Amino acid sequence: MDLVISPSALSCFRHDWGYKGEDSIRIFVRYVSGGTEPYGFGIMKDEPMDPAVVVKEDRLTFYMENKDVWFLERKKLTVDCLNGDIVFLVG
């Protein structure tokens, strides 16, 4: 799996969300509903324990733990910012 953080997402994390210095940002899979898309992504400031993928951009560390990558096997996750909102694009 590939993890890509867009420049606009990086700017949003820095300026709108207040992440600073060398913060670590965990991206995880969570259950959101029983509909056609029952899973979504969450974000939280955390320290890596068992990272499967790590991306460092502008001193920020973005990562996903091994227990969460099942959802994205052989796929690419792009984290972007559209109209001020963080969005997750799976391809």
- pLDDT tens-place string over residues 44-58: 999 999 999 999 999
Nearest to 30 by CA among 20, 19, 41, 21: 41
Structure confidence by residue, pLDDT tens digits, 24-36: 999 998 877 776 6
- Which domains, ranges and CATH numbers included, belong to the chain? 2-90 (2.60.300.12)
Contact 21, 45 (CB under 8 A): no
- The Cα 68–Cα 59 span in angstroms is 23
Residue 76 host element (H or E) = strand 76-82
